[in-house]
Amino acid sequence: MDQMAEKLTIRTDLAMESREMAQQGSSQELPGVVVDSVSLKDIKITRVEVTSADGEQRIGKPVGNYITLEVPGIKDRDPEYEERVSKQLAEEIQRLVDLEDNSTVLIVGLGNWNVTPDAVGPKVVDKIMVTRHIFEFVPDQVDDRMRPVSAISPGVLGITGVETGEVIQGLVEKIKPDLVIAVDALASRRTQRIGTTIQIADTGINPGSGIGNKRMGLNKETLGVPTLAIGIPTVVYAYTIGRDAIEMVIEELSENIKPGSEMERLINTMDQDHIDRVINEVLAEGLGDLVVTPKEVDILIDDVCRIIGNGINLAIHRGLSLEDINRFLH
């Protein structure tokens, strides 16, 4: 019941969208929220900073930095564009973290590899250039542009019986990385952002975010080390689609009715509860888990995960080219 209640709001894990929704169409910036946008040809970057508890409450995201890259062009599968996205992602990651020459990094792939739209984390981990064991066991094979990197996809609660946070806490205490990067699938409120938007946040993963079921956060408080979250929307909840459609219709009607008329009163009865009841009927049971995706989301996700993996590799192993990385990996 509690879960259903939670779903019956427009769900988004993108700070950019939370801010838009909080602004309610106004162009005035929110107190406690600083936004900076820049377009590099076909890569649009939005940097949202939540600077105060006030901002935090307004957009429902903890104080910190949220960088979004909008890269719709990756649908065209142009290797040159993909390379530019990976490089830009690396640059934005470096903007949020502060690595020493000998800093060590742990990459965590969150989510369930058996469920396509939840498999982003494990798929990105598959593309990571893992080097920590080379530093430990064959140090003479280390290229001095590498940093020691480890990577794990711990699975989800239903598979392991253990909260992801516990597995990662245990591991972090053992290997003591200087930085954790957690990769996860996100929910967006706009279908056109599926597979085409990347969010980086220096606040880590916090309870309730992400499309999977991860109660314990992964962040500096729980892990004791700086924790970057990288996510990509893979779904829009069906509820979101339904509500957006209805609200748009009501809005159109509202523009054309006389103030004080019977009709106005009627339309005003169409409050959120009422709308939710309609959507419930359309979606029927199980509505909380119904998601909208492109039919070929499996293939789309493979592309994006490779691009993100490369971005992370470039950010950590300074000076390595994508060609070096591919040679190491494949």
Closer CB to a copy of itself, residue 31 or residue 158?
Answer: 158
Decide: 13 and 186 in contact? Cβ < 8 Å: yes
CB of 197 to a copy of itself, least distance (A): 13
Nearer to a copy of itself, 67 or 107 (CB): 107
For a copy of itself, give the closer residue by CB, 45 or 300: 300
> Of 154 and 311, which CB lies nearer to a copy of itself in the complex structure?
154
Measured from the CB of residue 20, what is the shortest distance to a copy of itself in angstroms?
Answer: 15
CB of 41 to a copy of itself, least distance (A): 19
- For a copy of itself, give the closer residue by CB, 94 or 191: 191
Name the minimum Å distance from CB 54 to a copy of itself. 31
Nearer to a copy of itself, 51 or 116 (CB): 116
Q: Supply the DSSP symbol for 205.
A: B
**Least CB distance from residue 28 to a copy of itself, whole Å?**
24
Q: Which has the closest alpha carbon to 226: 116, 106, 55, 314?
A: 106
Longest CA–CA separation in the chain, Å: 82
Instruction: Tell me how far, at minimum, the Cβ of 142 lies from a copy of itself, in Å.
Output: 12
* Residue 15, both tokens: 């700070």
Q: In whole angstroms, what is the distance from residue 180 CA to residue 316 CA?
A: 12
Q: Which position has the token pair 């946070």? A: 165
Q: Say which residue the tokens 């957006």 belong to.
A: 244
CA distance 140 to 142: 5
Side by side, the strands of the sheet bearing 64-70 are 33-40, 43-50, 64-70, 197-201, 227-237, 179-188, 105-109, 149-152
